[in-house]
Chains A and B, each alone.
Chain A
């Protein structure tokens, strides 16, 4: 093994992890939040640049087959680092405004990101488990940093207990898979796969663990409470970067670890996808708290993503990858604007009724929120529509017509609750005069960039989707779909 070469293949993760350690050290000696945030942003930017370059680089495996690099792994790293970077950019001002800007928060974000990068590149069950745990433990902590408020403590405790429980399922599944096949390497497991009970039970338990992490129905119960209690910008981090990482690993599992013929895995995913889309959208209809609404909407989006996985074709997988980027862009944007409104003191600006008349106060923010919500609803012209189109098209091409119909109907129902905040903002009279503070350049600038990307990828999706489907063409199938 060429050690330097292997290190260079996991360079983004190494940069982010080392930066996390340095942040902890700085935080011990100095209350220098500016420096910490600067270091965090610089390291994330550098890692993002490297992983974007890796998108076009060679693919392969390193560290004795522990991780893969290039291709899908590089795209996963890019989405995760992109999401993390923008969450940190909007977090600084928000956390300052709610008096919870601690240096350790950034260290936790960086450590969690390292875990996510490991998870997205994982090629071995050990790496999947460690990546997932590193990510989850940091997220449990981030969920609880507003511990003075009951919702914060509830969020952290609920997330921790249920998360630990689901980790148990995951680990049990891995143990059974190891027992059935005698290996932890994904390729070797797939080669030794059979349809005996041990293997199927292991695969099923593994799926349960992942269903929990991506908050698919019926393992979604924690999501609304956790999202509500977590500081809003960190909720954005939780719902985008961590979900992307989990979904990339999910693709690895479904496409490479569980070969067709051992059990009807697609059927399982279809049922879960239908339940997730229907339940997430229906409950979101009646939410008055905008963060809870976004939480249920994120459950619904997990359902759409599962549609792509259920298709179980290269087209489906690349559609899921595209959707992950789309979801990351628009969801961070939506949470960012909500965070902006929320930090105005004296009024509960999470309650949707209080959005009345805000549309004309700070027109820029209101317009951006509208664009993000339009995109989440899947209105043509924005990135969310393209993502949904690819996913449902993949389902139709895989002869899952019923699944696609349910998805489109659920997505049509979702327009109601996405439009509701806009109705309040633009068409209702304000109850009272709410002075809205000005936002800083970093906050506003990153939201503007996200808006531009929402529109850009909505209008010109072709380049990226070609790149993504090229990852799944040619020898990919020969390599991985071994019967």
Chain B
């Protein structure tokens, strides 16, 4: 059963990642990206990495994708009407069913039963919040701080580029 779920999630992730690239409609692309993230979070859950799975959904599928959608809507790349009418329910249902059937076919063809590694109790411990916090604030304390600096630098840099408007300098003939 777990193998089947893994194959289903893997195919879902790959298929929706392909759909992100293939889809012509930017909003659809973004929504498919959400689906990819959720499918990956499912794979993490199968590996007993609960913390990463939850963070994947909250940060990527939640916060970052909302930002993506905001930007797409604000930039208004497509006319407003065409944004939604293409995503029909029946296509979406067909997509999910197609993935399920393909996963079923691959599952029975491959006759694999134990694709996932055996999860020992120690491995299950690694995925918990306590274990991650322990590593993060001990072994990875310096990288953790550098990341903080990196994010500050990125925010400051975005302000620097976006904020200052100067009268155009005299254009040299270059």
* B23 in the interface (beta carbon within 8 A): no
How many contacts between A and B, using CB within 8 angstroms?
100
- Across the interface, A156 reaches (CB within 8 A) one of B139, B141, B161, namely B161
Given contacts A21-B152, A99-B166, A348-B174, whether A126 and B157 have CB atoms under 8 Å apart is no
Give per-residue flags for B130-170: 1 if the beta carbon is below 8 A from chain A beta carbons, else 0.
00000000111111001101101110111111001011111
Q: How far is the CA of A190 from the CA of B99 in the complex (A)?
A: 42
Given contacts A66-B139, A146-B169, 10 further A-B contacts (CB under 8 A): A102-B160, A104-B157, A107-B153, A111-B156, A130-B147, A134-B150, A140-B157, A289-B174, A348-B173, A350-B174
* B88 in the interface (beta carbon within 8 A): no
Interface size range on B against A: 20 to 34
Q: How far is the CA of A108 from the CA of B159 in the complex (A)?
A: 11
Q: Look across to chain B and name the residue whose beta carbon is closest to the beta carbon of A98.
A: B169
Please indicate the chain A residues that have their CB under 8 angstroms from the CB of B157 in the complex: 104, 108, 137-138, 140-141
Please indicate the chain A residues that have their CB under 8 angstroms from the CB of B170 in the complex: 345
Given contacts A64-B139, A99-B166, A100-B166, whether A108 and B171 have CB atoms under 8 Å apart is no
How far apart are A3's CB and chain B's nearest CB, in angstroms? 9
Give per-residue flags for B41-79: 1 if the beta carbon is below 8 A from chain A beta carbons, else 0.
000000000000000000000000000000000000000
Please indicate the chain A residues that have their CB under 8 angstroms from the CB of B140 in the complex: 64, 66, 126
- What 5 A-B pairs come out closest when comparing CB atoms? A141-B157, A111-B153, A104-B160, A63-B142, A64-B139
Please indicate the chain B residues that have their CB under 8 angstroms from the CB of A131 in the complex: 146
Please indicate the chain B residues that have their CB under 8 angstroms from the CB of A67 in the complex: 142
How far apart are A73's CB and chain B's nearest CB, in angstroms? 13
* B172 in the interface (beta carbon within 8 A): yes
Please indicate the chain A residues that have their CB under 8 angstroms from the CB of B161 in the complex: 141, 144-145, 147, 156
Contact A126 B152 (CB under 8 A): no
Q: How far is the CA of A432 from the CA of B157 in the complex (A)?
A: 41
How far apart are B142's CB and chain A's nearest CB, in angstroms? 4
How far apart are A447's CB and chain B's nearest CB, in angstroms? 24
* A20 in the interface (beta carbon within 8 A): yes
Q: List A146-189 residues whose CB lies under 8 Å from chain B.
A: 146-149, 151, 156
Q: How far is the CA of A368 from the CA of B170 in the complex (A)?
A: 29
Please indicate the chain B residues that have their CB under 8 angstroms from the CB of A280 in the complex: none
Contact A104 B166 (CB under 8 A): no
Please indicate the chain A residues that have their CB under 8 angstroms from the CB of B147 in the complex: 130
Give per-residue flags for A11-53: 1 if the beta carbon is below 8 A from chain B beta carbons, else 0.
0000001001100100000000000000000000000000000
**Could you say which of A112-120, A195-203, A418-426 contacts chain B?**
A112-120
Contact A137 B146 (CB under 8 A): no
Q: How far is the CA of A346 from the CA of B146 in the complex (A)?
A: 43
Q: How far is the CA of A100 from the CA of B168 in the complex (A)?
A: 11
15 contacts between A and B (CB under 8 A): A17-B149, A104-B156, A104-B159, A111-B153, A115-B149, A115-B153, A118-B142, A126-B140, A127-B142, A145-B160, A145-B161, A147-B161, A148-B169, A149-B171, A348-B173
Please indicate the chain B residues that have their CB under 8 angstroms from the CB of A107 in the complex: 153, 156
Please indicate the chain A residues that have their CB under 8 angstroms from the CB of B171 in the complex: 149
Contact A148 B166 (CB under 8 A): yes
How far apart are B136's CB and chain A's nearest CB, in angstroms? 11
Contact B169 A115 (CB under 8 A): no
How far apart are B146's CB and chain A's nearest CB, in angstroms? 5
Q: How far is the CA of A21 from the CA of B153 in the complex (A)?
A: 9
Contact B149 A133 (CB under 8 A): no
Interface residues of A (CB under 8 A from B): 1, 10, 17, 20-21, 24, 63-64, 66-67, 98-100, 102, 104-105, 107-108, 111-112, 114-115, 118, 124, 126-127, 130-131, 133-134, 137-138, 140-141, 144-149, 151, 156, 228, 289, 345, 348, 350
Please indicate the chain A residues that have their CB under 8 angstroms from the CB of B174 in the complex: 151, 228, 289, 348, 350
Please indicate the chain A residues that have their CB under 8 angstroms from the CB of B142 in the complex: 10, 63, 66-67, 118, 127
Q: Look across to chain B and name the residue whose beta carbon is closest to the beta carbon of A3.
A: B141
Please indicate the chain A residues that have their CB under 8 angstroms from the CB of B139 in the complex: 64, 66
Q: How far is the CA of A124 from the CA of B139 in the complex (A)?
A: 11
Contact A20 B169 (CB under 8 A): no
Q: How far is the CA of A126 from the CA of B164 in the complex (A)?
A: 34
Q: How far is the CA of A17 from the CA of B146 in the complex (A)?
A: 9
Q: Look across to chain A and name the residue whose beta carbon is closest to the beta carbon of B164.
A: A102
How far apart are A159's CB and chain B's nearest CB, in angstroms? 13
Please indicate the chain B residues that have their CB under 8 angstroms from the CB of A228 in the complex: 174
Contact A126 B143 (CB under 8 A): yes
- Across the interface, A99 reaches (CB within 8 A) one of B138, B154, B156, B169, namely B169
Q: List B79-106 residues whose CB lies under 8 Å from chain A.
A: none
Contact A115 B150 (CB under 8 A): yes
Contact A133 B150 (CB under 8 A): yes
Q: How far is the CA of A115 from the CA of B154 in the complex (A)?
A: 12
Q: How far is the CA of A33 from the CA of B35 in the complex (A)?
A: 48
Give per-residue flags for B105-140: 1 if the beta carbon is below 8 A from chain A beta carbons, else 0.
000000000000000000000000000000000111
Given contacts A118-B146, A147-B161, whether A112 and B166 have CB atoms under 8 Å apart is no
Please indicate the chain B residues that have their CB under 8 angstroms from the CB of A64 in the complex: 138-141
Q: How far is the CA of A99 from the CA of B156 in the complex (A)?
A: 19
Contact A134 B149 (CB under 8 A): yes
Given contacts A99-B169, A114-B149, whether A130 and B143 have CB atoms under 8 Å apart is yes
How far apart are A374's CB and chain B's nearest CB, in angstroms? 28
Q: How far is the CA of A115 from the CA of B148 in the complex (A)?
A: 11
